[in-house]
Amino acid sequence: VIWMTQSPSLLSASTGDRVTISCRMSQGISSYLAWYQQKPGKAPELLIYAASTLQSGVPSRFSGSGSGTDFTLTISCLQSEDFATYYCQQYYSFPWTFGQGTKVEIK
């Protein structure tokens, strides 16, 4: 099983801030990493796959980087609709695993 460490678990920020979320793997996964956004009471939505490819319809203020064991999700200019919980997920090998989640809240 590939373990994932996602940090921070809670991030307080203001509209307009640049925020960064980290995801570290217990072993290399090449670029088989996805990022999801989830709002309360809703299903998650795919933001980024293949570590850095933006899913269709996702605003360009979201970006992803990294390969191997260390990955980052960046929101360049936080908007009000971006306050949510974010999860990374590895799909390099089964069983797939998710990070523990990062809640982005209003400071």
Strand partners, 7: 22
Half-sphere exposure of 20 (CA within 13 A, CB side): 6
Q: Which is nearer to another protein, 31 or 69 (CB)?
A: 31
Q: Which is nearer to another protein, 17 or 45 (CB)?
A: 45
Four-residue CA torsion sign, 64, 14, 85, 60: negative
Shortest Cβ 16–another protein spacing (Å): 28
Q: Which is nearer to another protein, 47 or 78 (CB)?
A: 47
Helix (H, G, I), strand (E, B) or coil at 80: helix
Shortest Cβ 94–another protein spacing (Å): 4
Interacting residues with another protein (CB under 8 A) = 1, 34, 36, 38, 43-46, 49, 55, 87, 89, 91, 94-101
Shortest Cβ 46–another protein spacing (Å): 5
CB 66 within 8 A of CB 33: yes
